[in-house]
Structure 1
Amino acid sequence: MDLLAPYFERFSLSARMFYSGLLCGSTEENEHTGHLHVLRKGKLTVTRPDARPLVIDTPSIVFFPRPRLHRLHGPEEEGAELVCATIEFGAGMLNPLIASLPEPLVLPLDALPELEPTLQLLFSEAFSGLPGRQAAMDRLFEYLFVLLMRSAMKEHRIDSGVLVGLSDLRLGKAIEAMHKHPETSWSLEQLAQCAGMSRARFAAYFRQVVGMTPFDYLTDWRLGVAQTMLRNGTSLRLIAAAVGYANATALTRIFTQRIGMSPSEWLARSQLHSASDVSLSS
């Protein structure tokens, strides 16, 4: 069973390479998308408004899974050789996978041997200047993201969050059940049965591993699915039934509490941002 498949089925993954070369000096990245930076060689300093500078001096992946203002600094003389892309995986949406990742996620390339063939192709294409380079780089970054998530789950490169839960033979079954059937009125006992555990043990273990309660995760998953359906033009009445709420009013109440705005307000803002992004890229 492909435990990552539900995320890719429910949320749209999109990458766009925006920089490749030697960074001498600094550059600021925007707050509207995630960012995936691959340091090939050199020394890189990452600064953020409310955090200590992060200095990276070995070839590494630096992944900001959520929109986050940050600045990259390369030494003025020797520079830092970088390939960078924006990553949108349900941008502006409640994606529990993205929400559970550390910020930033920094992994040395020598700790990721399974990614080496793709990274070699990425670097080769980045500096080739061949026709179709942008399209090829975008797709390679999307593939790199999938490999990164696969590796993080398989090799336990992250010590908490839903990727760890998916890797757990017991919790993975309960999470899979929630993914498959968000419309079900799940009880704690039913989810515990899926995991083959007692209710008390399941509740405590889920929170310990995933970092939230089973019902908080289920709510996030349902609302993330609801956001995708809203973008696709589905009515609130049909969405409510599909994600386990009695009616559109109940869905709107939970949505507003969790997201901070009503479904209609969220959709309008989402469409406005999408139109703005298209305008800026054209």
Structure 2
Amino acid sequence: MYPAAFDYAKPATVAEAVSLLSANPDAKILNGGHSLLPAMKLRLAQPAMLVDIGGISELKQVSVNGGATIGAAATYDDLLKHDGLKAHTALYEAMSKVGDVQVRNRGTVGGSAAHADPAADIPAALIALGAELVAVGPNGTRTIAADDFFVDILTTALEPDEVLTEIRIPASGASSAYEKFAHPASGYAVCGVAVALERDGEGTVTNARIAVTGSVYKATRCSAAEAAITGTKATAADIEAAAAVAADGLELAGDHYASAEYRGHLTKVLTKRALTRAAG
């Protein structure tokens, strides 16, 4: 099916993009386009204008110095070629599991975050790593914690006239991992779990961040598992105990492919696997 008619603009700067969004309330940002364009072809989305931010060079910048700053228009392929990002293992592994080569060549971490698909890989990794997302709008720049960014299904804390410009991963001594059970047709996560553990000199877990995607309606922290593993040495028994409560308190999603009960089971299994690798 063909999309409805729309205007097209390709700004050269973030300020110009913000101005276009402010002047056109029904406009949508085009980045990689892997989610928006199929929706437009099905007429599930009918924006009056597409604001293509792919030509804004500052949104493609990547820097790594302990932490990492990732431009919102940097592609997965760009980032996977950056050896410095391998230190942020959960995000690196999540990116490597997104779609296929074609998707990774065009898709972006910023686009995945802004779209907030409940089965996307990237949101869980950003939450586990304690990322911050920077947005620019007509009222200036603001920074949003990943914990607060993902609001609901396909809904974020971004305002309609704001542009997500960069994602910041803080420097930390955390070890991390991402585990995924993919849908065989779409490649999206039926369940995905990202883990980041900080430990003291004696090997005790001082801080744990565990986030799940796919099993829930938005990327969500597994608070019960975090509490269970914190303060332990992350032994096999400790990990088993934390994984057993990983689904506790979560609003689990279910559909014709995988029931809520099954997704709860996957959450526990993948939490165990991710914790084991992060603690190894």
Higher helix proportion: 1
Structure in which a larger fraction of residues adopt strand: 2
Please confirm whether the aligned pair reaches a TM-score higher than 0.5, indicating the same fold: no
TM-score of the pair, normalised by structure 1: 0.31
Bigger Rg, structure 1 or 2: 1
Normalised by the length of structure 2, the TM-score is 0.31
